[in-house]
Amino acid sequence: MPELPEVEVLVRHLRPLLSGRKIRSVSVRRAKVLHPTPVATFSKTLIGATIQELRRRGKYLLFDLKKGRGRFVLLGHLGMTGRMFVAAKKEALPKHTAVVFDLGGKQFIYEDTRYFGRLTLDLTSAEQLGPEPWDEALTAETLVRELKKSRQPVKVKLLDQTLIAGIGNIYASEVLFRTGISPRRAANRVTVAEAGGMLTNIRDVLNEAIACGSTIPLNFTGRKSDGLFYFGQAPGTPDYYEERLRVYDRAGKPCIHCQTPVKRIVQAARSTFFCPQCQKK
**How many alpha carbons lie under 13 Å from residue 55 in its C-beta half-sphere?**
11
Site for DNA in 94-153 (CB under 7 A): 95-96, 113-116, 124-125, 128, 149-152
2 binds DNA (CB under 7 A): yes
217 part of the active site? no
Q: Exactly one of 21, 59, 185, 263 is catalytic; name it.
A: 59
Report yes or no: 65 and 73 within 8 Å, Cβ to Cβ: yes
Q: Which stretch binds DNA (CB under 7 A): 11-19, 99-107, 203-211, 265-273?
A: 265-273
Does residue 203 bind DNA (CB under 7 A)? no
Is residue 243 annotated as part of the catalytic site, yes or no?
Answer: no
Catalytic annotation on 276? Answer: no
**Position among 37, 45, 161, 182 found at the interface with DNA (CB under 7 A):** 161
- Compute the least distance from the CB of residue 91 to DNA, in Å: 19
CA distances from 54 to 7, 60, 78, 200, 209 (A): 11, 11, 15, 27, 20
Question: Where would I find the beta strands (DSSP E) of the chain?
Answer: 25-28, 50-57, 60-67, 70-77, 82-88, 97-102, 106-112, 118-120, 218-219, 230-231, 263-267, 270-274
Tell whether residue 77 is a contact of DNA (CB under 7 A): yes
In 3D space, the residue among 248, 268, 256 whose CA is nearest the CA of residue 3 turns out to be 248
Q: What DSSP state is assigned to residue 105?
A: S
**Known active-site residue 59:** yes
Nearest-angstrom CA–CA distance, 255 and 240:
17
Q: Which residues are catalytic?
A: 2-3, 59, 270
Task: Using CB under 7 A, list all residues that contact DNA.
Answer: 1-3, 6, 32, 58-59, 77, 79-81, 95-96, 113-116, 124-125, 128, 149-152, 156, 159, 161, 168-170, 215-216, 231, 268-271
